[in-house]
Amino acid sequence: PGHRSCRVDQVVNLMSVNITFCCADTQSESWLTGLRAALPQASIESWVPGAKPADYAVVWAPPQSFLDEQTQLKAVFNIGAGVDALMKLRLPIHTKVVRLDDAGMSVQMAEYVCHAVIRHFREFDGYAADMAQGIWSFRKPRIRSDFPVGVMGLGVLGERVAKALASFDFPVNGWSRSVKAIGTVRGFSGEAQFDEFLAATRILVCLLPLTPDTRNIMRLETLGKLLPGGYVINVARGAHLVDEDLVHLLDGGHLSGATLDVFRTEPLPSEHPFWRHPKITMTPHTSARTLRDESIAQIVGKIVAMERGEPVAGIVDPVRGY
Ligand code: NAP
Ligand code: GLV
Residue 285 has pLDDT above 70, yes or no: yes
User: Are 281 and 261 within 8 A, CB to CB?
Assistant: no
Ligand 1 mean position, distance from CA 214 (Å): 10
d(CA 184, CA 162): 9
d(CA 137, CA 126): 10
Q: Is the CB of 109 under 6 A from ligand 2?
A: no
Among the residue ranges 3-12, 36-45, 186-195, 258-267, the one predicted with the least confidence is 3-12
Q: Is the CB of 314 under 6 A from ligand 2?
A: no
d(CA 291, CA 312): 20
Is 120 assigned a catalytic role? no
Closest C-alpha residue for ligand 2 atom 5: 80
pLDDT bucket at 2, cuts 50 / 70 / 90: very low
Ligand 2: residue of 105, 206, 234, 286 to mutate (most ligand atoms within 8 A of CB) is 105
Ligand 2 mean position, distance from CA 310 (Å): 26
d(CA 19, CA 307): 13
Ligand 1 mean position, distance from CA 157 (Å): 7
Q: Is the CB of 299 under 6 A from ligand 1?
A: no
pTM confidence score: 0.96
Ligand 1: residue of 111, 177, 180 to mutate (most ligand atoms within 8 A of CB) is 177
Q: What confidence score (pLDDT) does residue 4 get?
A: 39
Is 285 assigned a catalytic role? yes
Q: What confidence score (pLDDT) does residue 127 get?
A: 98
Closest C-alpha residue for ligand 2 atom 4: 82
Residue 92 has pLDDT above 50, yes or no: yes
DSSP characters over 15-37: TT-EEEEEETTS-HHHHHHHHHH
Closest approach atom of ligand 1 to CA 208: 7
Mean pLDDT across 287-295 = 98
pLDDT digits (tens, 9 = 90+) for 210-258: 999 999 999 999 999 999 999 999 999 999 999 999 999 999 999 999 9
* Residue 35 backbone phi and psi in degrees, to 5: -65, -40
Looking at residue 163, its amino acid is K
Number of alpha helices (DSSP H) and beta strands (DSSP E) in the chain: 11, 12
Closest approach atom of ligand 1 to CA 262: 41
Residue 32 has pLDDT above 50, yes or no: yes
Q: Is the CB of 80 under 6 A from ligand 2?
A: yes
pLDDT digits (tens, 9 = 90+) for 65-86: 999 999 999 999 999 999 999 9
Q: Which residues contact 54 (CB under 8 A, 6 or more apart)?
A: 18, 19, 20, 47, 70, 72, 73
